[in-house]
Structure 1
């Protein structure tokens, strides 16, 4: 593969674009800073203006050559990392312009801005670094972040700004998760894996319940989780979810083994008994501990009192 090494060295000799120069948003911010802000604030000092513009261009060109160690440097960048780097870069330049930094402080503020960007850049490097003496496109496979499944990358070559899509192919099955949930609680099946958000393909999640070896569809959506309300013992069993692209190609799948157990430490509410028709008289026995029944003379007392009052009225008349 000597010609590949020669190709990379030739690019270094001819000059490089730099990763930020592959971002339209970043370059729009550069043009605004150079052609509007610097021209306005340094029109009376053309030498300093030219020096600051040159420093900015030099920083952009040398950025992809920054080394992690003696064998690794920036060669390609994924779309998410490029977007993050571009956002930090625009924020840094905007802060200088919003603060109306003048001539004496401009050089110092720009150096501070470059240092901050270098810190951000090195934080992104582990995701996008590759071998310095090898062609980036053919060696990025060593940097695949998916432990399983099929992951699609959209990568930008920092030297040519050429964009290509690459695929990391690994085993489709991503393991099994065991879930124990109490009776009447909600069952949550989360199908997301950490590398899913970095995969370029449009993601759609399909959930199934496995019944006698057959996949019974439950739901398909862009959400990576499924919530099954108030489960019972009949929901115990095996479930599966897969992530598919827009064409229906399955990129990965995950199994769940669910066990529904009785609730612990909770009050059990029994259903109210239904009304029944009695076919025989209800016989109530008398407890041996109960006191003997007493005679009720309240009626005779009322009758006697009423009669006595009537006799008293007649005699009075």
Structure 2
């Protein structure tokens, strides 16, 4: 056990940079092997375990498989996977040769998984930023030391064209997908760039967005966003060209009549469907009686008035 402990400490190899993995292997030698393996076989298994641990340290470093450095989330993921397999082995209670075979088969599988976990740190994709200065905190597996790796590319991240209408909100977004993973970043500064090439600082904030409500023609022009770092040099610079369009006029929408049926407008159809009441003409005798009444009416009035005077 003392020999294994001496090997585990210098023989790192990333997955062993996690102290919980070292403790798990020590517990395997101290508690599990004595109860599940004859004493005469324990020494040989420990030597083979030492060799397997060294293989973790001696994983070949090349452009296509393993770079020798990972970030903390990847290390924690690999350590959890290793301890999970080790826990399944010790909880199964297997003994003797079966236990030895499963132990080393598990270690070989974990080495392959670790290579898969660290594939994102190949040289081709070692710097996920296409522009700007990204500071990555990586763990270098040989010595288990955390160092900041600088991915240096052009700080000029291009120009974005923004169109906004009058009285609407103008939004300038300075965020890039790798900003959250970078170390040593400070704040975003938004500048107004005038035609005479002078600049005016509008705001400095931790959020990558500048929002200006109800813009007008005077807000059209050029802007610049700069993300600072602890070294007082910008990580990224993004330019914005803003065009303010005239306010959109609201035209009155025409009111359409319902589609006619069989080519006849609905109003005409309704009129045709409603019944029309026609008055029948009076017969000549009735008309003659009415005319006589109108002729006798004045004389009747005179008679009544004379009778009243008497």
Q: If the length of structure 2 is used for normalisation, what is the TM-score?
A: 0.58
Matched residue SS, 2:176: coil
1:118 matches 2:101: no
1:178 aligns with 161
Alpha-carbon deviations, 1:167-221, whole Å to 9, x = none?
A: 3443332211112234444333222233434433233211112233222222222
- Mark the CA change 1:231 to 1:41 in structure 2 (over 3 Å): closer, same or farther: farther
Match among 32, 36, 39 for residue 45 of structure 1? 36
Rate the CA distance shift 1:43–1:154 in 2: closer, same or farther, 3 A.
same
Q: Which runs of 5+ in 1 are unaligned?
A: 1-14, 131-141, 269-317
**1:20 paired residue among 8, 15, 19:** 15
Matched position secondary structure for 1:248: coil
Match of 2:175 among 171, 186, 192: 192
SS of structure 2 residue aligned to 1:74: coil
Q: List aligned pairs for 1:1-317, cutoff 5 A.
A: 16-21=11-16, 23=17, 26-31=18-23, 33-36=24-27, 39-40=30-31, 43-46=34-37, 60-63=53-56, 65-66=58-59, 72-78=64-70, 80=71, 82-90=72-80, 92-94=82-84, 97=87, 101-104=91-94, 108=102, 111=105, 115=109, 118-119=112-113, 121-129=115-123, 143-212=126-195, 213-262=197-246
Gaps of 5+ in 2: 1-9, 253-310
1:108-134: CA deviations, max 9, x gaps? 58856863663453253242449xxxx
Return closer, same or farther for 1:123/1:89 CA change in 2, 3 Å cut-off. Answer: closer
Q: Is the 8 A contact 2:220 2:242 kept in 1?
A: yes
Deviations 1:78-120 (A, max 9, x none): 4x3x432323422552476489731239765885686366345
Choose 1 or 2 for highest CA Rg. Answer: 2
- Aligned mates of 2:48, 2:209 — CA distance in 1: 49
Q: CA RMSD in A?
A: 4.0
Q: For 2:185, what is the secondary structure of its paired residue?
A: coil
Paired residues of 1:202 and 1:246 also in contact (CA < 8 A)? yes
